[in-house]
Structures are given as C-alpha cells and as structure tokens.
Amino acid sequence: MRRYLSVLFISVTLLAGCATSPTGRSQLVLMPESEMNQMGRQAFTNIKKETPVNKQTTTNNYVQCVARAITREVGGSWEVVVFKDDAANAFALPGGKIGVNTGLLKVAKNQHQLATVIGHEVSHVLAHHANERVSQSFAVQQGLNLLGAIASPESGTGQSLMGMLGVGAQYGILMPFSRVQESEADMHGLDLMARAGFDPRESIQLWKNMARSGNGQPPEFLSTHPSHSTRISDLIARLPHALQLRNQAQQRGRRPDCK
C-alpha cells in the first residue's frame, strides 16, 4: 500500500507541474510565478543589505545601458544594481532583478561581452529555471522521504539505501539538470543579446577570458556549469543563427553604444 501511495504521489506531482522551456524541453515547474517573483524580490533586498553597492556614476551608466538594451527585448520592469564584489559574476532573479559584480567588468572587456553574461542570466529567468530547480529539489526530497519510509531507514540496510539514493539523486538528477539549464541559458542568451544588437562573436572571447581568469572549475561531470571548452564549442555552433539575428536587429536600428 505504501509503495502504491509513493508512486501515486510522485506521478501526480510530475503531471501537475509539466511545462516546456523556450528550447522545447519538458520541465517540472510546481511553484506559482507570483511566489517565485516574491522570493526573487526578497532575495534581492537581502543581497543589497549584505553586499556593498557600487555608486560610481560611470560604471552604473555603462551597466544600465547594456542591461536596458537586453531587457528592452523581453519587456517588463527590471531593477539593475552594481555590487562591489571582486567575483566575476552576475545574476538575475524572478521579479525583474539583475545584479552585476564589479569583478565581472574586469573579465567582460566590452559591452558585447557584458551583454553575453546579462543575456545569459536574464534567460535563466525567462526559462523559469529557478522555479524548475526548486521544483526538482522538492520532488526529489519528497520521493526520497517516501522511499526511505518504505525501506525502514532505522535499519542498517535502510540507511545504506538512503545514502546511495542521496548520492544518486544529487549527481544523477539535480546536477545534470542544472548543466542543461546552463547550456539552455547560453543558447537563449546568445540569441537575446544578438536581438539587442550586440555582437555574438564576442561571447567566444568572453569565455576565453573566463578560462584565463584563474577561476578554478571542478570536473564537468560533477559541475552544475558546462566547462569553458564545451561552452565555447556550443556557442560557435550557434553563431550563424545569432549573427543573422544581429543583422536583423541592426536593420531595425538596434545599435547599442554603451561606454
């Protein structure tokens, strides 16, 4: 009976949260977008409290210029903040929030390379990747809890089974999905920055810069991000399509000049 109920719970959960990503991939999305937006806004408020904000006018004007060109293509209201942080990173959150670290500006050498990163991060939001990650974590945890009850976790066998399932769930389900999400954001972000009029060829140089910046990476099969070489190869394959989008954008007057 317990086995039947566990299978029924997991099946209903999966069916209730079925969605499709911008690339046509099936997604498990359980959280209402209104809840995700609220979580994103609260998280951004907390980050602003905990991390110093860069007030330099020139830097802010530059980052705002690039972000506006990107977000103009997707619509909505977006808050953009530059943080004093040496990590070469940026992020976007549900609820229309974008954060850019000053450390990224040392690696993204021009507007096109910065647009690559911002386009990538905005694409995570557009593809509901945060919702998907929360939903995956919930579904896996609930599944493991139910299976653990069936296996009598107080026993030695049950504890061993749960240990193996925990590792299998972490590396066999959640982390590969995260790599898929990163690759998906790379491709969608490349198209997005090209539609805004930025040069998609600069995305290749950005990741070469990242590779030389000294930021260590774990082996790709244990990482939630594709390796730099994999990213570069995938982006090169996508370039003809992205260049066509940029040509169309420039014909529509999309010629960003952020300095």
Report the alpha-carbon distance of residue 21 to residue 132 in Å, rounded. Answer: 10
Whether 259 maps to a domain, the answer reads: no
* pTM value > 0.85: no
The domain in which residue 121 lies consists of 2-251
| Residue at 200 is within a domain | yes
* Within a domain: 48: yes
Q: Determine whether 50 is an active site residue.
A: no
Reported as a single tens digit per residue, the pLDDT across 17-75 is 567 777 677 777 777 888 889 989 999 999 999 999 999 999 999 999 999 999 999 99
Question: How many domains would you assign to the chain?
Answer: 1
The answer to whether residue 76 scores a pLDDT higher than 90 is yes
Q: Which residues contact 21 (CB under 8 A, 6 or more apart)?
A: 27, 127, 128, 184
- Whether 257 is in a domain gets the answer no
For residue 6, the model assigns a pLDDT of: 46
The rounded distance, in Å, linking the Cα atoms of 117 and 112 is: 9
Which DSSP string corresponds to 23-73?
TS-EEE--S-HHHHHHHHHHHHHHHHHHSPBP--HHHHHHHHHHHHHHHTT
Residue 218, in any domain of the structure: yes
Q: For residue 100, what pLDDT is reported?
A: 97
pLDDT (tens digit per residue) in 94-133: 999 999 999 999 999 999 999 999 999 999 999 988 888 8
Q: Which of 50, 121, 154, 182 is catalytic?
A: 121
Q: Is residue 193 part of a domain?
A: yes
